Structure 1
Amino acid sequence: MKRAIAAAAGALALAAFAAQAQDKPVTLKFSYWVPPKHSLVVSTYGWAESLAKATNGTLKVQIFPSNQLGKGPDHYDMAKDGIADFVLVNPGYTPGRFPVIAAAEQPFLTTGTINGSPGFQEWYLKYAPKEMKEVWTCLVFTHEPGTFHMRGKKVEVPGDIKGLKIRTGNATSSRFIGMLGGSSVAVEITEARETLARGIVDGIMVPWEGLTVFRLADVTKFHMENPLYVSIFTWNLNRKAYDGLSAAQKKALDQHCGLDWTKKIVTAWAARDHDAIQKVKPLSDHVAYTINAQQVAQWRKAAEPLRKQWADEVTKAGYNADQVWSELVAALKKHNGLYQ
């Protein structure tokens, strides 16, 4: 009897292997607008290698960094139209198009990407099939929180922004700076150093990693340590490309689009941010500071009209804004990613 069971199990395993071996080989084009040495690109190579192994080499990924297939703001449509199969999307590049996911850009919301990203992914995958219906969503994550890095003065309370010119990190941050009486300046991150050096802006909102990668530490002095804001990103796949995969390939891909891979990818990215903090904070000509709970409360109070604007846009798009927000807060709490 035991031999019969073992033989049957062996036959099933061989049949499954044979079916997988017969799967049509597929190579997916993965487009990035960040450079090849960026942590996300480096991590994607490891992800792709694991995916190929899980499909016995039938599902491979070819990576195209540095805008080779198209510019950053075009990446969602590139996946929709099949110019690329997989893409990195920054919804903040197209303000107003994806109002639900823009909730992530509200200030002082999350502690960081390692605990925050699982909450954002768990929350948004409920809404992605409607808001990003033209594509299939794999992963959802953020960078480590960005904050204020200033040339000449600390920024501690909302009133400190009045009259200042700030290079902002996304559209929500730009609105917020405007509400506080400041001016947001839109320049590419690669141009930010010169803009700061020439005094065109007084400061920049950016993750700490930017201080070393783009040499912004050379032209800034005061650095708030509180997690001010994040930008959120998605990995999206062309729907026809996904539908064209075999059942075994889909299963393997689904397994590579879970929270475990989200955590692996953002942990590697966060490490670079933490390295930058360790390099900049000890420098004698730099001042890192933390605002207190009362000051954070002032910022949140000042941001209430900003969240009202977001809620109005979400409601106009046909969603229950209160429900969307409460579900986001609950998901972040569940994963210890809510900034309280």
Structure 2
Amino acid sequence: MTHSKISTLSLAVTLAGAAATVTAQDKSVELRFANWLPAQHALASTGFEPWAKSVEAASKGSIKVTLYPAQQLGKAADHYDMARDGIADMSWVSPGYQAGRFPVFAASELPMQVAMPGPGSAALDAWYRKYAETEMKDVKFCFAHLHVGTLHSKKPITDPEQIKGMKIRPANGTVAQTVTQLGGTNVQVSAPESRDALEKGVADAITFPWNSIISFNIDKAVKYHMDARLYAASFAWLMNKQWYEKLSASQKKVIDDHCSNAWADKVGHAWGNQEDSGREKLAQTSGHTIVKLTPQQIDSWKKAVQPVTQQWMQSAEKAGAKPKDVLEGFRKELASRNAAY
């Protein structure tokens, strides 16, 4: 072997060794990940915990993820600001809890658009990424996903006319608009506070995904469940920018690899399937009734909620968005994944 080849080989080995040393010497950091769900919630086992373990494994233990469930670091509606301000390094956010603040994101929560939570989540994430750069510019956007839910009540509901005069806990600001449009009154309480509101008669019904009715023990307070894809609730995993910027290059790559459309799809499918399994559980539970709707009744619901889309378009335009383009883009993504309702 010539001297030049030996030198080149020696240099390559040295550089490889240096790179390995840098990776091995990544400073150990903690990622404080806040959410507002109970620790035993299905999303913990299908989303938060698998993601955290994968990040830790990929970073060879240099990123330690600590989960803070059940509003330990702050109220549900504050989780966006918690990530922005560094109260949490990362948080699971329901942007719809702050009605009007994220008008583009709210397009994903317009009623009766999404049929399937898994492919719907992949569509949501792919569509929203370009908007997140401006609408959520003060945090690092990781990914978005959604669940699909319906109306659970103390009496059977089949017609939108029945909502008039009812007190309903909405899933988010867009669902609240829907309730108002149909003549109901909104009861604004977070998910963990919902059972109490229903049991005390403060609310008559709730919009919620299927299995969470059970995990939040709300099945003790409502017995009728409308069999329709009434609404979607969309969520974002968001990170404190300053925390992210302090990571090493290899640690940033680990985070970037875990803030992907593939993870949005994975979490959306896993949680969505788990939530949808609650329908069959409730159907087999004594005292509970799944309220079937005819195709004509579904059509009447779609017609009744249409003004909510028009209201959203007006408010989004005032906020500087191009509502027609926004909505067409989201619906195109849904259709491409066979996730449209």
Question: Does the CA contact (< 8 Å) of 1:32 and 1:41 recur in 2?
Answer: no
Match of 1:64 in 2: 68
Q: Is the 8 A contact 1:138 1:235 kept in 2?
A: yes
Aligned counterpart, 2:119: 115
Q: Which residue of 2 aligns with 1:174?
A: 176
Match of 2:31 among 28, 31, 56: 28
Note the C-alpha offset of 1:317: 1.7
Give the alignment partner of residue 136 of structure 2, picking from 132, 138, 147.
Answer: 132
The 3 A distance-change label for structure 1 pair 77 and 305 is same
Task: Say what the alpha-carbon RMSD is for the aligned residues.
Answer: 2.5
> Does the C-alpha gap of structure 1 residues 6 and 56 become closer, same or farther in structure 2, counting only changes over 3 Å?
farther
In 2, Cα distance between equivalents of 1:140 and 1:338: 17
The answer to whether residue 44 in structure 2 is matched with residue 41 in structure 1 is: yes
1:17 is aligned to: 20
> Aligned-pair distance for 1:200?
4.3
Which deviates further from its counterpart, 160-169 or 90-99? 160-169
State the alpha-carbon separation in 2 of the partners of residues 198 and 71 from structure 1: 22
State the alpha-carbon separation in 2 of the partners of residues 56 and 195 from structure 1: 45
* Amino acid in the other structure paired with 2:287: D
Give the superposition deviation at 1:130: 0.2
**Deviation for aligned residue 1:10:** 6.5
SS in structure 2 of the partner of residue 87 of structure 1: strand
Q: Give the equivalent residue in structure 2 for 1:268.
A: 270
Amino acid at match of 1:86: M
Q: CA deviation at 1:7?
A: 8.7
- Between Structure 1 and Structure 2, how many residues are aligned? 336
State the one-letter code of the partner of 1:312. Q
Q: Which amino acid aligns with 1:270?
A: G
Judge conservation of contact 2:41–2:215 (CA < 8 Å) in 1: no
* Partner SS for 1:138: strand
| Of 187, 211, 229, the match for 2:189 | 187
Residues in 2 aligned to 1:38 and 1:301: alpha-carbon distance in whole angstroms: 34
Question: In structure 1, what is the Cα distance between the partners aligned to 2:61 and 2:286?
Answer: 52
CA distance in 1, matches of 2:219, 2:9: 64
Cα separation, partners in 2 of 1:6 and 1:37, compared to 1, 3 Å: farther
Tell me the TM-score normalized by structure 2. 0.89
Greater alpha carbon shift after TM alignment, 158-167 vs 190-199? 190-199
1:168 and 1:185 in contact (8 A); partners too: yes
Aligned with 2:149 (options 146, 162, 170): 146
Q: Which residue is equivalent to 1:296?
A: 298
Deviates more, 1:122-131 or 1:294-303: 294-303
TM-score by length of 1: 0.89
Partner of 2:232, secondary structure, is coil
2:183 is paired with a residue whose SS is: coil
**C-alpha separation between the residues in 2 aligned to 1:239 and 1:191?**
31
Matches within 5 A, 1:317-332: 317-332=319-334
Match for residue 105 of structure 2 among 97, 101, 104: 101
Residue 225 of structure 1: aligned partner: 227
| Cα deviation digits, residues 12-45 of structure 1 (max 9, x gap) | 6544322312333222211122222223333323
Letter in 2 for 1:38: H
After superposition, where does 1:208-247 map in structure 2 within 5 Å?
A: 208-247=210-249
Q: Which amino acid aligns with 2:212?
A: G
Q: CA, structure 1 residues 7+115, in 2 after alignment: closer, same or farther (shift >3 Å)?
A: farther
Q: Report SS of the residue matched to 1:303.
A: helix
Structure-2 separation of matches of 1:237 and 1:25: 18
- Does residue 89 of the first structure (1) align with residue 116 of the second (2)? no
For residue 310 of structure 2, what is the aligned residue in structure 1?
Answer: 308
CA 1:284–1:73 in 2, change beyond 3 Å: closer, same or farther?
Answer: closer
Q: Percent identity?
A: 39
Could you list the runs of 5+ residues in structure 1 that have no partner in the other structure? none
Relative to structure 1, the CA distance from residue 68 to residue 252 in structure 2 (aligned partners, 3 Å threshold; closer, same or farther) is same
Query: Using a 3 Å threshold, how does the CA distance of structure 1 residues 214 and 54 change in structure 2: closer, same or farther?
Result: closer
Q: Secondary structure at the match of 1:156?
A: coil
Specify whether residues 196 and 77 from structure 1 end up closer, same or farther in structure 2 by C-alpha distance, changes over 3 A only: closer
Aligned residues of 1:79 and 1:87 also touching (Cα < 8 A): yes
Q: Report the CA distance shift for 1:288/1:14 in structure 2 as closer, same or farther (over 3 A).
A: same
| Structure 2: distance between partners of 1:304 and 1:146 | 18
For 1:171 and 1:121, the matched residues in 2 are separated by 20
Check 1:268–1:199 CA distance in 2 against 1; reply closer, same or farther (3 A cut).
same
Q: Distance in 1 between matches of 2:141 and 2:168?
A: 33
| Offset of residue 131 of structure 1 | 0.2
Distance 1:25 1:158 in 2: 55
Alpha-carbon displacement from aligned partner over 1:268-308 (angstroms, at most 9, x marks no partner): 32343233222211245332133233332322222222111
Q: Distance in 1 between matches of 2:25 and 2:36?
A: 34
Question: Residue 24 of structure 1 aligns to a residue in which SS?
Answer: coil
More off after superposition, 19-28 vs 323-332 = 19-28
Which amino acid letter does the alignment assign opposite residue 266 of structure 1? G
Superposed CA offset, 1:129-169 (max 9, x none)? 100000010010112x111122223x223222223222222
